[in-house]
A and B are shown apart, each in its own frame.
Chain A
Amino acid sequence: MALFDKFAKLAQDRAALIQTELHPFGTRIDEIYSPTEGRIGSQRVVLAGTNNYLGLTLDPDSIKAAQQALAEEGTGTTGSRMANGSYGSHMALESELADFFGRRSVIVFSTGYQANLGVIGTLAGPDDIVLLDADSHASIYDACRMGGAQVIRFRHNDAADLERRMRRLGEQAKDALIIVEGIYSMLGDQAPLREIADIKRRLGGYLLVDEAHSVGVLGQHGRGLAEELGVEDDVDVVLGTFSKSLGAIGGFAASQHPEFDLLRYASRPYIFTASPSPSSVASVRAALRALRARPELRTRLWENAHQLYSGLAGLGYQVGPQASPVVPVVLGSPQQGMAFWLGLIERGVYVNLVLPPATPNGQALVRCSVSAAHTSAQIDHIIGAFAELAITSREAAVNS
Protein backbone atom coordinates (compact mmCIF):
# COMPACT_ATOMS: atom_id res chain seq x y z
CA MET A 1 0.00 0.00 0.00
CA ALA A 2 1.39 3.40 -0.94
CA LEU A 3 1.92 5.94 1.82
CA PHE A 4 -1.09 8.09 1.05
CA ASP A 5 -3.50 5.26 0.20
CA LYS A 6 -4.72 5.19 3.79
CA PHE A 7 -6.48 8.50 3.15
CA ALA A 8 -8.74 7.04 0.45
CA LYS A 9 -11.66 6.53 2.82
CA LEU A 10 -11.15 9.96 4.33
CA ALA A 11 -11.19 11.52 0.86
CA GLN A 12 -14.37 9.62 0.02
CA ASP A 13 -16.14 10.65 3.23
CA ARG A 14 -15.02 14.22 2.76
CA ALA A 15 -16.29 14.36 -0.82
CA ALA A 16 -19.65 12.90 0.21
CA LEU A 17 -20.11 15.46 2.95
CA ILE A 18 -18.47 18.62 1.67
CA GLN A 19 -20.07 19.91 -1.48
CA THR A 20 -19.86 23.63 -0.94
CA GLU A 21 -16.89 25.93 -1.09
CA LEU A 22 -17.81 27.32 2.30
CA HIS A 23 -17.78 24.55 4.89
CA PRO A 24 -17.20 24.13 8.63
CA PHE A 25 -13.92 22.21 8.48
CA GLY A 26 -11.63 24.88 7.11
CA THR A 27 -13.55 28.10 7.33
CA ARG A 28 -11.67 31.22 6.34
CA ILE A 29 -12.53 34.14 8.58
CA ASP A 30 -11.59 37.05 6.36
CA GLU A 31 -11.68 39.83 8.88
CA ILE A 32 -11.90 40.17 12.64
CA TYR A 33 -13.76 43.29 13.79
CA SER A 34 -13.91 42.52 17.50
CA PRO A 35 -13.74 39.45 19.79
CA THR A 36 -17.33 38.73 18.76
CA GLU A 37 -17.63 39.94 15.17
CA GLY A 38 -15.99 39.12 11.89
CA ARG A 39 -16.52 38.62 8.19
CA ILE A 40 -16.70 35.30 6.32
CA GLY A 41 -16.78 35.98 2.59
CA SER A 42 -19.36 38.69 2.09
CA GLN A 43 -21.19 37.80 5.28
CA ARG A 44 -20.75 39.72 8.49
CA VAL A 45 -21.08 37.25 11.37
CA VAL A 46 -21.38 37.16 15.13
CA LEU A 47 -18.54 34.90 16.27
CA ALA A 48 -20.04 32.19 18.49
CA GLY A 49 -17.54 29.49 17.62
CA THR A 50 -14.42 30.55 19.50
CA ASN A 51 -13.00 29.90 22.97
CA ASN A 52 -12.61 33.61 23.63
CA TYR A 53 -14.48 33.29 26.93
CA LEU A 54 -13.41 36.59 28.46
CA GLY A 55 -13.14 38.44 25.15
CA LEU A 56 -9.54 39.43 25.89
CA THR A 57 -8.01 38.84 22.44
CA LEU A 58 -8.31 42.52 21.58
CA ASP A 59 -7.94 43.87 25.09
CA PRO A 60 -5.94 47.14 24.84
CA ASP A 61 -3.68 46.28 27.79
CA SER A 62 -2.80 42.86 26.38
CA ILE A 63 -2.10 44.35 22.96
CA LYS A 64 0.07 47.08 24.41
CA ALA A 65 2.06 44.60 26.50
CA ALA A 66 2.53 42.34 23.48
CA GLN A 67 3.64 45.23 21.28
CA GLN A 68 6.14 46.38 23.84
CA ALA A 69 7.61 42.89 24.24
CA LEU A 70 7.75 42.52 20.48
CA ALA A 71 9.67 45.78 20.16
CA GLU A 72 12.01 45.05 23.04
CA GLU A 73 12.64 41.28 22.80
CA GLY A 74 11.82 40.45 19.21
CA THR A 75 9.54 38.17 17.27
CA GLY A 76 10.65 34.82 18.69
CA THR A 77 12.98 33.10 21.12
CA THR A 78 14.36 30.80 18.38
CA GLY A 79 14.89 27.91 20.73
CA SER A 80 14.19 25.63 23.64
CA ARG A 81 14.31 26.78 27.23
CA MET A 82 16.59 23.90 28.15
CA ALA A 83 19.11 24.44 25.39
CA ASN A 84 18.76 28.10 24.48
CA GLY A 85 17.64 29.65 27.74
CA SER A 86 14.50 31.11 29.27
CA TYR A 87 13.64 34.79 29.07
CA GLY A 88 12.88 36.67 32.24
CA SER A 89 9.28 36.94 31.10
CA HIS A 90 8.85 33.14 30.97
CA MET A 91 9.94 32.95 34.60
CA ALA A 92 7.80 35.92 35.58
CA LEU A 93 4.72 34.34 34.00
CA GLU A 94 5.45 31.10 35.84
CA SER A 95 5.70 32.81 39.20
CA GLU A 96 2.56 34.88 38.54
CA LEU A 97 0.66 31.68 37.72
CA ALA A 98 2.11 29.97 40.81
CA ASP A 99 0.84 32.87 42.87
CA PHE A 100 -2.58 32.77 41.19
CA PHE A 101 -3.05 29.03 41.72
CA GLY A 102 -1.36 29.01 45.11
CA ARG A 103 1.03 26.26 44.06
CA ARG A 104 4.75 25.84 44.42
CA SER A 105 5.63 25.04 40.80
CA VAL A 106 4.33 26.09 37.42
CA ILE A 107 5.82 25.02 34.12
CA VAL A 108 4.87 26.89 30.96
CA PHE A 109 4.67 24.97 27.68
CA SER A 110 4.35 26.17 24.10
CA THR A 111 0.73 24.98 23.78
CA GLY A 112 -1.85 23.30 26.01
CA TYR A 113 -1.62 20.21 23.82
CA GLN A 114 2.09 20.04 24.61
CA ALA A 115 1.43 20.65 28.29
CA ASN A 116 -0.66 17.47 28.33
CA LEU A 117 1.94 15.53 26.35
CA GLY A 118 4.72 16.93 28.48
CA VAL A 119 3.13 16.24 31.85
CA ILE A 120 1.00 13.11 31.41
CA GLY A 121 3.30 11.55 28.82
CA THR A 122 6.29 11.98 31.13
CA LEU A 123 4.71 11.20 34.52
CA ALA A 124 2.84 8.08 33.43
CA GLY A 125 5.07 5.42 31.92
CA PRO A 126 4.50 1.76 30.98
CA ASP A 127 4.39 0.68 34.64
CA ASP A 128 1.80 3.29 35.61
CA ILE A 129 -1.97 3.21 35.37
CA VAL A 130 -4.05 6.12 34.12
CA LEU A 131 -7.80 6.28 34.73
CA LEU A 132 -9.34 8.74 32.34
CA ASP A 133 -12.80 10.00 31.53
CA ALA A 134 -13.95 8.40 28.28
CA ASP A 135 -14.67 11.82 26.75
CA SER A 136 -11.17 13.16 27.39
CA HIS A 137 -9.56 15.55 24.92
CA ALA A 138 -7.35 14.06 22.21
CA SER A 139 -4.25 15.58 23.78
CA ILE A 140 -4.86 13.48 26.90
CA TYR A 141 -5.26 10.28 24.91
CA ASP A 142 -2.17 11.11 22.86
CA ALA A 143 -0.19 11.87 26.01
CA CYS A 144 -1.06 8.47 27.47
CA ARG A 145 0.02 6.81 24.30
CA MET A 146 3.27 8.73 24.23
CA GLY A 147 4.18 7.65 27.74
CA GLY A 148 2.95 4.11 27.17
CA ALA A 149 0.86 4.09 30.36
CA GLN A 150 -1.75 1.40 31.04
CA VAL A 151 -4.98 3.25 30.27
CA ILE A 152 -8.35 2.42 31.82
CA ARG A 153 -11.33 4.54 30.68
CA PHE A 154 -14.32 5.23 32.89
CA ARG A 155 -17.76 6.33 31.70
CA HIS A 156 -18.06 10.05 31.10
CA ASN A 157 -18.70 12.04 34.29
CA ASP A 158 -19.66 8.87 36.16
CA ALA A 159 -17.89 8.90 39.52
CA ALA A 160 -19.41 5.57 40.56
CA ASP A 161 -17.99 4.01 37.41
CA LEU A 162 -14.56 5.44 38.26
CA GLU A 163 -14.82 4.00 41.76
CA ARG A 164 -15.78 0.57 40.43
CA ARG A 165 -12.76 0.58 38.13
CA MET A 166 -10.44 1.73 40.90
CA ARG A 167 -11.68 -0.99 43.23
CA ARG A 168 -10.96 -3.53 40.53
CA LEU A 169 -7.35 -2.39 40.53
CA GLY A 170 -7.00 -3.17 44.22
CA GLU A 171 -3.72 -1.94 45.69
CA GLN A 172 -2.63 -0.58 42.31
CA ALA A 173 -5.28 2.15 42.57
CA LYS A 174 -3.14 3.93 45.15
CA ASP A 175 -0.58 4.94 42.53
CA ALA A 176 -2.93 5.47 39.59
CA LEU A 177 -3.33 8.85 37.90
CA ILE A 178 -6.95 10.01 37.51
CA ILE A 179 -7.53 12.53 34.71
CA VAL A 180 -10.63 14.68 34.18
CA GLU A 181 -11.49 18.05 32.66
CA GLY A 182 -13.03 21.09 34.35
CA ILE A 183 -15.47 21.79 31.53
CA TYR A 184 -15.73 19.36 28.62
CA SER A 185 -15.16 21.19 25.36
CA MET A 186 -17.96 19.60 23.32
CA LEU A 187 -20.89 19.23 25.75
CA GLY A 188 -19.98 22.04 28.13
CA ASP A 189 -20.60 19.85 31.17
CA GLN A 190 -18.44 19.79 34.29
CA ALA A 191 -16.66 16.87 35.96
CA PRO A 192 -18.22 15.63 39.24
CA LEU A 193 -15.03 16.72 40.95
CA ARG A 194 -16.31 16.69 44.52
CA GLU A 195 -17.25 13.02 44.21
CA ILE A 196 -13.99 12.22 42.43
CA ALA A 197 -11.94 13.99 45.11
CA ASP A 198 -13.82 11.95 47.69
CA ILE A 199 -12.96 8.71 45.87
CA LYS A 200 -9.34 9.78 45.76
CA ARG A 201 -9.35 10.46 49.48
CA ARG A 202 -10.70 6.97 50.14
CA LEU A 203 -8.86 4.89 47.54
CA GLY A 204 -5.72 6.88 46.85
CA GLY A 205 -4.28 7.87 43.49
CA TYR A 206 -3.23 11.18 41.98
CA LEU A 207 -5.62 13.65 40.37
CA LEU A 208 -4.91 15.80 37.31
CA VAL A 209 -7.55 18.28 36.18
CA ASP A 210 -7.32 19.82 32.72
CA GLU A 211 -8.93 23.22 33.30
CA ALA A 212 -8.43 24.36 29.67
CA HIS A 213 -12.05 25.55 29.35
CA SER A 214 -12.64 26.47 32.99
CA VAL A 215 -9.79 28.80 33.98
CA GLY A 216 -11.24 32.30 34.00
CA VAL A 217 -14.69 30.76 33.71
CA LEU A 218 -15.33 28.96 37.02
CA GLY A 219 -14.46 29.68 40.64
CA GLN A 220 -14.73 32.85 42.65
CA HIS A 221 -11.29 33.93 41.48
CA GLY A 222 -11.41 32.15 38.12
CA ARG A 223 -9.10 29.30 39.06
CA GLY A 224 -11.46 26.75 37.57
CA LEU A 225 -13.73 23.90 38.63
CA ALA A 226 -11.57 22.78 41.57
CA GLU A 227 -11.92 26.24 43.08
CA GLU A 228 -15.64 26.36 42.29
CA LEU A 229 -16.19 23.10 44.18
CA GLY A 230 -13.69 23.77 46.96
CA VAL A 231 -11.46 20.77 46.26
CA GLU A 232 -8.22 22.43 45.15
CA ASP A 233 -6.22 20.63 47.85
CA ASP A 234 -7.19 17.28 46.34
CA VAL A 235 -5.85 18.17 42.89
CA ASP A 236 -2.22 17.16 42.33
CA VAL A 237 -1.79 18.83 38.96
CA VAL A 238 -3.80 21.65 37.38
CA LEU A 239 -3.29 21.91 33.68
CA GLY A 240 -4.41 24.69 31.40
CA THR A 241 -3.99 26.66 28.24
CA PHE A 242 -3.39 30.26 27.24
CA SER A 243 -5.37 29.77 24.04
CA LYS A 244 -8.86 30.25 25.45
CA SER A 245 -9.81 32.68 28.24
CA LEU A 246 -6.31 34.22 28.16
CA GLY A 247 -6.55 34.88 24.43
CA ALA A 248 -3.08 33.91 23.21
CA ILE A 249 -1.21 30.63 22.78
CA GLY A 250 0.68 28.39 25.20
CA GLY A 251 -0.07 26.07 28.10
CA PHE A 252 0.91 25.40 31.69
CA ALA A 253 0.84 22.90 34.50
CA ALA A 254 0.82 23.77 38.21
CA SER A 255 1.56 21.53 41.14
CA GLN A 256 2.44 21.52 44.79
CA HIS A 257 4.65 18.43 44.55
CA PRO A 258 8.26 19.22 45.42
CA GLU A 259 9.55 17.06 42.55
CA PHE A 260 7.34 18.67 39.93
CA ASP A 261 10.04 21.00 38.60
CA LEU A 262 12.15 17.99 37.67
CA LEU A 263 9.80 17.52 34.73
CA ARG A 264 11.78 20.28 33.02
CA TYR A 265 14.66 17.83 32.64
CA ALA A 266 12.57 14.83 31.65
CA SER A 267 9.72 16.13 29.54
CA ARG A 268 10.46 15.93 25.83
CA PRO A 269 7.56 18.20 24.74
CA TYR A 270 9.08 20.83 27.05
CA ILE A 271 12.67 20.33 25.97
CA PHE A 272 12.51 19.69 22.25
CA THR A 273 10.49 22.65 21.06
CA ALA A 274 10.86 26.42 21.03
CA SER A 275 9.63 28.40 24.01
CA PRO A 276 6.62 30.73 23.71
CA SER A 277 7.38 33.99 21.91
CA PRO A 278 7.86 37.16 24.00
CA SER A 279 4.74 38.89 22.70
CA SER A 280 2.58 35.90 23.53
CA VAL A 281 4.00 35.66 27.05
CA ALA A 282 3.50 39.39 27.57
CA SER A 283 -0.13 39.34 26.44
CA VAL A 284 -0.85 36.32 28.67
CA ARG A 285 0.58 38.14 31.67
CA ALA A 286 -1.63 41.14 30.94
CA ALA A 287 -4.65 38.89 30.37
CA LEU A 288 -4.00 37.12 33.68
CA ARG A 289 -3.98 40.50 35.40
CA ALA A 290 -7.32 41.30 33.73
CA LEU A 291 -8.75 37.93 34.73
CA ARG A 292 -7.81 38.66 38.36
CA ALA A 293 -8.78 42.32 38.46
CA ARG A 294 -12.04 42.15 36.51
CA PRO A 295 -14.32 39.45 37.97
CA GLU A 296 -17.18 41.27 36.22
CA LEU A 297 -15.98 39.62 32.99
CA ARG A 298 -16.90 36.27 34.49
CA THR A 299 -20.28 37.60 35.57
CA ARG A 300 -20.98 38.85 32.03
CA LEU A 301 -19.85 35.54 30.55
CA TRP A 302 -22.31 33.61 32.69
CA GLU A 303 -25.17 36.01 32.00
CA ASN A 304 -24.57 35.40 28.30
CA ALA A 305 -24.24 31.65 28.84
CA HIS A 306 -27.60 31.49 30.63
CA GLN A 307 -29.29 33.71 28.03
CA LEU A 308 -28.15 31.50 25.14
CA TYR A 309 -28.77 28.20 26.93
CA SER A 310 -32.30 29.05 28.00
CA GLY A 311 -33.05 30.76 24.68
CA LEU A 312 -32.13 27.70 22.63
CA ALA A 313 -33.73 25.28 25.07
CA GLY A 314 -36.88 27.43 24.91
CA LEU A 315 -37.01 26.96 21.13
CA GLY A 316 -37.19 23.21 21.72
CA TYR A 317 -33.63 22.42 20.74
CA GLN A 318 -31.81 19.59 22.48
CA VAL A 319 -29.03 21.44 24.28
CA GLY A 320 -26.23 20.23 26.59
CA PRO A 321 -26.72 18.78 30.08
CA GLN A 322 -26.09 22.06 31.90
CA ALA A 323 -25.86 25.80 31.25
CA SER A 324 -22.32 26.65 30.24
CA PRO A 325 -20.32 29.01 28.04
CA VAL A 326 -20.25 26.05 25.65
CA VAL A 327 -23.76 25.35 24.38
CA PRO A 328 -24.07 22.30 22.13
CA VAL A 329 -27.19 21.74 20.05
CA VAL A 330 -27.88 18.21 18.82
CA LEU A 331 -28.96 18.14 15.19
CA GLY A 332 -29.24 14.65 13.73
CA SER A 333 -27.28 13.40 10.74
CA PRO A 334 -24.00 14.91 9.53
CA GLN A 335 -25.82 16.13 6.38
CA GLN A 336 -28.46 17.89 8.46
CA GLY A 337 -25.66 19.38 10.52
CA MET A 338 -23.92 20.73 7.41
CA ALA A 339 -27.10 22.35 6.10
CA PHE A 340 -27.85 23.84 9.48
CA TRP A 341 -24.34 25.27 9.83
CA LEU A 342 -24.63 26.94 6.42
CA GLY A 343 -28.05 28.28 7.37
CA LEU A 344 -26.54 29.89 10.44
CA ILE A 345 -23.77 31.53 8.39
CA GLU A 346 -26.41 32.94 6.01
CA ARG A 347 -28.07 34.43 9.08
CA GLY A 348 -24.84 35.96 10.29
CA VAL A 349 -23.85 33.47 12.97
CA TYR A 350 -20.60 31.50 13.10
CA VAL A 351 -20.50 28.35 15.27
CA ASN A 352 -18.58 25.05 15.14
CA LEU A 353 -19.96 21.86 13.61
CA VAL A 354 -18.89 18.65 15.33
CA LEU A 355 -19.43 15.24 13.79
CA PRO A 356 -19.19 11.67 15.10
CA PRO A 357 -17.01 10.05 16.42
CA ALA A 358 -16.23 13.28 18.29
CA THR A 359 -19.89 13.47 19.39
CA PRO A 360 -21.96 11.10 21.52
CA ASN A 361 -24.53 8.75 19.89
CA GLY A 362 -23.42 9.29 16.31
CA GLN A 363 -25.21 12.61 16.01
CA ALA A 364 -23.99 15.89 14.59
CA LEU A 365 -24.01 18.88 16.86
CA VAL A 366 -23.26 22.54 16.54
CA ARG A 367 -21.14 23.88 19.34
CA CYS A 368 -21.93 27.47 20.24
CA SER A 369 -19.66 29.31 22.60
CA VAL A 370 -20.23 32.61 24.29
CA SER A 371 -17.88 35.35 25.40
CA ALA A 372 -18.04 38.02 28.06
CA ALA A 373 -17.68 40.40 25.10
CA HIS A 374 -21.00 39.37 23.50
CA THR A 375 -23.73 41.91 23.99
CA SER A 376 -27.14 40.74 25.01
CA ALA A 377 -28.34 41.87 21.56
CA GLN A 378 -25.76 39.61 19.89
CA ILE A 379 -26.96 36.64 21.94
CA ASP A 380 -30.52 37.49 20.85
CA HIS A 381 -29.32 37.58 17.25
CA ILE A 382 -27.89 34.05 17.65
CA ILE A 383 -31.14 32.81 19.21
CA GLY A 384 -33.09 34.53 16.40
CA ALA A 385 -31.11 32.65 13.75
CA PHE A 386 -31.83 29.33 15.49
CA ALA A 387 -35.50 30.28 15.71
CA GLU A 388 -35.69 30.92 11.94
CA LEU A 389 -33.96 27.63 11.18
CA ALA A 390 -36.30 25.76 13.52
CA ILE A 391 -39.24 27.11 11.51
CA THR A 392 -37.59 26.25 8.20
CA SER A 393 -36.84 22.69 9.23
CA ARG A 394 -40.37 22.19 10.59
CA GLU A 395 -41.77 23.40 7.27
CA ALA A 396 -39.44 21.07 5.38
CA ALA A 397 -40.63 18.20 7.58
CA VAL A 398 -44.29 19.05 6.89
CA ASN A 399 -43.70 19.30 3.13
CA SER A 400 -41.80 16.04 2.82
Chain B
Amino acid sequence: MISQEKILERLFVYLGRIAPASTPIHPDVDLIQELGLDSIKVMDLLMELEDEFDLSIPLNVLTDVRTPAQLAEAVVTLMEPANGTVR
Protein backbone atom coordinates (compact mmCIF):
# COMPACT_ATOMS: atom_id res chain seq x y z
CA MET B 1 0.00 0.00 0.00
CA ILE B 2 1.36 3.41 -0.93
CA SER B 3 1.10 6.03 1.79
CA GLN B 4 -0.04 9.60 1.50
CA GLU B 5 3.41 10.72 2.70
CA LYS B 6 5.13 8.80 -0.05
CA ILE B 7 2.91 10.43 -2.67
CA LEU B 8 3.50 13.89 -1.23
CA GLU B 9 7.24 13.29 -1.27
CA ARG B 10 7.13 12.50 -5.02
CA LEU B 11 4.85 15.42 -5.69
CA PHE B 12 7.29 17.80 -4.02
CA VAL B 13 10.19 16.51 -6.11
CA TYR B 14 8.19 17.00 -9.27
CA LEU B 15 6.80 20.40 -8.24
CA GLY B 16 10.33 21.50 -7.36
CA ARG B 17 11.23 21.00 -10.99
CA ILE B 18 8.32 22.90 -12.54
CA ALA B 19 7.22 25.52 -10.01
CA PRO B 20 8.90 28.93 -9.63
CA ALA B 21 11.75 28.79 -7.11
CA SER B 22 10.40 31.85 -5.28
CA THR B 23 7.23 30.14 -4.02
CA PRO B 24 7.65 27.74 -1.10
CA ILE B 25 6.12 24.32 -1.73
CA HIS B 26 4.10 22.84 1.12
CA PRO B 27 1.18 20.39 1.39
CA ASP B 28 -1.46 23.11 1.42
CA VAL B 29 -0.16 25.40 -1.30
CA ASP B 30 -2.71 26.06 -4.06
CA LEU B 31 -1.32 24.49 -7.23
CA ILE B 32 -2.90 26.95 -9.62
CA GLN B 33 -3.45 30.17 -7.63
CA GLU B 34 -0.17 30.13 -5.69
CA LEU B 35 2.23 27.96 -7.68
CA GLY B 36 0.89 29.31 -10.97
CA LEU B 37 0.57 25.91 -12.66
CA ASP B 38 -1.69 25.77 -15.69
CA SER B 39 -4.26 23.03 -16.22
CA ILE B 40 -1.93 21.03 -18.47
CA LYS B 41 0.85 21.00 -15.86
CA VAL B 42 -1.58 19.78 -13.23
CA MET B 43 -2.66 16.96 -15.53
CA ASP B 44 1.00 16.15 -16.21
CA LEU B 45 1.46 15.83 -12.46
CA LEU B 46 -1.01 12.94 -12.48
CA MET B 47 0.90 11.24 -15.28
CA GLU B 48 4.09 11.41 -13.23
CA LEU B 49 2.35 9.85 -10.25
CA GLU B 50 0.84 7.13 -12.42
CA ASP B 51 4.27 6.13 -13.67
CA GLU B 52 6.01 6.48 -10.32
CA PHE B 53 3.52 4.21 -8.54
CA ASP B 54 2.39 2.14 -11.53
CA LEU B 55 -1.24 3.16 -11.05
CA SER B 56 -4.14 4.36 -13.16
CA ILE B 57 -5.32 7.74 -11.91
CA PRO B 58 -8.19 9.17 -13.93
CA LEU B 59 -8.30 12.96 -14.44
CA ASN B 60 -11.61 12.98 -12.61
CA VAL B 61 -9.79 12.95 -9.25
CA LEU B 62 -8.76 16.54 -9.98
CA THR B 63 -12.30 17.87 -9.66
CA ASP B 64 -11.96 18.76 -5.99
CA VAL B 65 -8.20 19.05 -5.80
CA ARG B 66 -6.53 22.40 -5.11
CA THR B 67 -3.40 21.41 -3.13
CA PRO B 68 -0.74 18.66 -3.01
CA ALA B 69 -2.28 17.30 0.21
CA GLN B 70 -5.69 17.00 -1.41
CA LEU B 71 -4.18 15.33 -4.45
CA ALA B 72 -2.31 12.80 -2.33
CA GLU B 73 -5.47 12.08 -0.39
CA ALA B 74 -7.51 11.64 -3.56
CA VAL B 75 -4.98 9.16 -4.92
CA VAL B 76 -4.96 7.13 -1.71
CA THR B 77 -8.75 7.03 -1.69
CA LEU B 78 -8.72 5.87 -5.27
CA MET B 79 -6.43 2.98 -4.40
CA GLU B 80 -8.57 1.66 -1.56
CA PRO B 81 -11.17 -0.44 -3.38
CA ALA B 82 -8.83 -2.22 -5.79
CA ASN B 83 -5.12 -1.63 -6.01
CA GLY B 84 -4.16 -0.06 -9.32
CA THR B 85 -7.45 -0.32 -11.19
CA VAL B 86 -9.95 2.34 -11.99
CA ARG B 87 -13.07 1.90 -9.83
* Chain A interfacial positions (CB closer than 8 Å to B): 127, 129, 134, 144, 148, 150-153, 155, 164-165, 168-170, 172, 356-357
Which A-B residue pairs are the 9 nearest by beta carbons? A150-B58, A357-B38, A151-B59, A357-B40, A150-B86, A168-B56, A151-B58, A169-B56, A129-B86
A127 CB contacts on chain B under 8 angstroms: 87
B46 CB contacts on chain A under 8 angstroms: 153
The answer to whether B47 touches A155 (Cβ under 8 A) is yes
* Interface bits B56-81 vs A (CB < 8 Å: 1, else 0): 11111000000000000000000000
| Distance, CA A144 to CA B41, complexed state (A) | 19
Instruction: Report the minimum CB–CB distance from A148 to chain B (whole Å).
Output: 8
| Distance, CA A323 to CA B47, complexed state (A) | 29
The answer to whether B47 touches A172 (Cβ under 8 A) is no
Instruction: Report the minimum CB–CB distance from A6 to chain B (whole Å).
Output: 11
A356 CB contacts on chain B under 8 angstroms: 38
Instruction: Report the minimum CB–CB distance from A133 to chain B (whole Å).
Output: 12
Q: Which residue of B lies closest to A169 (CB)?
A: B56
Known: A129-B58, A168-B54, A168-B55. A150 touches B87 (CB 8 A): yes
A144 CB contacts on chain B under 8 angstroms: 59
A153 CB contacts on chain B under 8 angstroms: 43, 46-47, 59
A170 CB contacts on chain B under 8 angstroms: 85
The answer to whether B47 touches A134 (Cβ under 8 A) is yes
The answer to whether A152 touches B58 (Cβ under 8 A) is yes
Question: Which parts of B33-58 form the interface with A (CB within 8 Å)?
Answer: 38-41, 43-44, 46-47, 50-51, 54-58
B16 within 8 A of A: no
Instruction: Report the minimum CB–CB distance from A363 to chain B (whole Å).
Output: 13
A152 CB contacts on chain B under 8 angstroms: 50, 56-59, 86
Instruction: Report the minimum CB–CB distance from B37 to chain A (whole Å).
Output: 9
Q: Which residue of A lies closest to B54 (CB)?
A: A168
Among A129, A152, A170, A172, max chain B CB count under 10 A is at A152
Known: A150-B60, A151-B60, A152-B56. A357 touches B39 (CB 8 A): yes
| Distance, CA A148 to CA B61, complexed state (A) | 11
The answer to whether A134 touches B43 (Cβ under 8 A) is yes
